[in-house]
Structure 1
Amino acid sequence: MFRHALSTAGCIGQEKVDAKVAVLKETLGWSQEEVNLAVSKAPRILVASEERLRRNAAFLLNEAGLPPQYIARRSVLLMYSLERRMVPRHLVLKALKERRLVEQDRCFFNVVAPTEEKFLEKFVAPYEESIPGLADAYESACAGKVPEGFQH
């Protein structure tokens, strides 16, 4: 991983690396140690746009309610598509939690990280009878249309 971080940093230049580090410290309140941990886990965060980092960090902190330390240990979350992956899956998780169909402390990363097929198999298909329209709501959310009753 460190090798990937170095090659990534080498491709974009020190000025841009410093700017990304500043964004991570500012938006997530991370220490240099937490930045180092995050980069070691997902070196490609250094090539993400500052806007993407800000938007994903804001969502993870404010909507998903994740602590900054959690995000540092699972920094690949900063790279996932907000609109096509994190928001739709968060809406499904929220609906499942509201109906007490999954544990309240369900790990957010374990919901967002699986492939589309695994996610549908584990979090949508088993609950289609309990929550009519869940699959359609998820599909709509993935297309950028947040269905009524599934706002985040």
Structure 2
Amino acid sequence: MLANLARKALLHARVILALPNAGARTLLRPASTSSESRSFTVSYLVNACGLSPESALSASLRVRFETPSRPDSVLGLLKERGFSPTQISDVVSRYPTVLLASPDKILLPKIEFLRSRGFSDPDLARVISAVPRILARSLEKHLRPTLDYIGDVVQSGENAVAAIKRYPRILYESPGTQLIPKITTLRNNGVPHKNIGHFVLYHGPRFLVSTEQFDEAVDRVKALGFNPSKVGFVTALHVIRCMSESSWRKKIGVYGKWGWSEEDVALAFRRHPWCMAVSESKITKAMDFFVNEMGLDSLHIARRPVVISLSLRKRIVPRCSVFRVLLSKGLVHTHSLATSLIIPERRFLEEFVTRYLGEAPQLLDLYKEKMGLAN
């Protein structure tokens, strides 16, 4: 079957030229290698690298070899570094010519450099299998200066590793094309270096847009009233860049069904940008619970929008079940609800459960029950 696939591909690769004024003559221009070489390559990609026959045939258009010597040594290096069969398949299918690279002269120096900067072997397997063409980048002209630049921006080599692990493509892309123009925009708008580092560390994908799109998003965040000197500015920038204008308008509409005006939505967004990052379904379920189950005024939530982004099953329902008992006994006031939801669990248990066991001994069992249902 593989041989037939290879022969078909070879036939498609030939160019048949009809020569004008040459009567019935035609000229067949053969492919640069034989069908046997193509067949061997396809077979190797399937059996040694784990590619499907279709993926192997596609990859064989970009790489060709007649003996397994070099590919075997490349696969041996990847296996020694802890790459799983699936990760090896991902690397080869996306970057087939890696099989022709010198393990000792090309691949190993790059891998050892990244290890020296803090990447573990499992880290490298995940990063490289996600963006295999990192291995095609020059060590001295790209990898080293790019990693140094990212480290300077995020203020430590450890943070640079963390940023790349979250978004491997940031190590592959040219800083001069993707990072530097956007960072310049942020600096020109008064965003502190520390907050720029936070943005790169946690929201790397937001840099992979055109400079014009990025600048438009920055202007939009400023127009919404965010202070560029505060970390909320870059958080809002991330949220806005994550959604389309139509999605933004739909979420405003969902909040509008609960009585929020556009000014209320803008206020909530300034206080907690993540309230616009949750899904429309999550907004509806959370608002329904707070308004119809807890009896709160919807505008009370607009002033405390952080509660919208909390887990309904694991945080809101269990804690509100306790809070509702305390409220019925007059032991707490409504304005304490947001506090009860956002504090760490240990503090919640101390301030809203253990403290009131004398007046409401069922609180701990009630909380455990609701948490058990959530889990």
TM superposition score category, shorter chain reference: 0.7 to 0.9
Give the match for residue 111 of structure 2. Answer: none
Asked whether the 8 Å contact 1:84–1:143 carries over to 2, the reply is no
Give the match for residue 357 of structure 2. Answer: 128
Aligned equivalent of 1:87, options 307, 314, 317: 317
Aligned: 1:45 with 2:275: yes
Cα-to-partner distance string for 1:16-51 (whole Å, 9 max, x where unaligned): 11111111112x211110010011111112221111
Amino acid at match of 1:54: T
Asked whether the 8 Å contact 2:294–2:324 carries over to 1, the reply is no
Report the alpha carbon displacement of residue 104 of structure 1 after superposing the two structures with TM: 4.6
Equivalent-residue separation in structure 2 for 1:92 and 1:78 (angstroms): 18
Give the match for residue 90 of structure 2. Answer: none
Aligned: 1:57 with 2:287: yes
Amino acid at match of 2:358: E
Give the match for residue 79 of structure 2. Answer: none
Give the match for residue 249 of structure 2. Answer: 18
Asked whether the 8 Å contact 1:4–1:43 carries over to 2, the reply is yes
Equivalent-residue separation in structure 1 for 2:245 and 2:237 (angstroms): 11
Relative contact order higher in (CA < 8 Å, ≥ 6 apart): 1
Residue 295 of structure 2 aligns to a residue whose secondary structure is coil
Greater Cα radius of gyration, structure 1 or 2: 2
Give the match for residue 336 of structure 2. Answer: 107
Residue 33 of structure 1 aligns to a residue whose secondary structure is helix
Aligned equivalent of 2:296, options 44, 66, 70: 66
Q: Following TM superposition, where does structure 1 have runs of at least 4 consecutive aligned residues deviating by more than 6 angstroms?
A: none
Task: Calculate the TM-score normalised by the size of structure 1.
Answer: 0.84
Pairwise CA RMSD = 1.8
Aligned equivalent of 1:97, options 327, 335, 343: 327
Aligned length: 143
Question: Compared with structure 1, are the counterparts of its residues 47 and 119 closer, same or farther at alpha carbon in structure 2 (3 Å cutoff)?
Answer: same
Report the alpha carbon displacement of residue 68 of structure 1 after superposing the two structures with TM: 2.1
Task: Calculate the TM-score normalised by the size of structure 2.
Answer: 0.36
Identity of aligned residues (%): 31
Where do 5+ consecutive residues of structure 1 fail to align?
146-152
Equivalent-residue separation in structure 2 for 1:30 and 1:23 (angstroms): 9
Equivalent-residue separation in structure 2 for 1:17 and 1:104 (angstroms): 34
Aligned: 1:29 with 2:259: yes
Asked whether the 8 Å contact 2:357–2:363 carries over to 1, the reply is yes
Asked whether the 8 Å contact 1:45–1:76 carries over to 2, the reply is yes
Report the alpha carbon displacement of residue 3 of structure 1 after superposing the two structures with TM: 3.7
Where do 5+ consecutive residues of structure 2 fail to align?
1-231
Equivalent-residue separation in structure 2 for 1:43 and 1:106 (angstroms): 21
Residue 315 of structure 2 aligns to a residue whose secondary structure is helix
Aligned equivalent of 1:117, options 334, 346, 361: 346
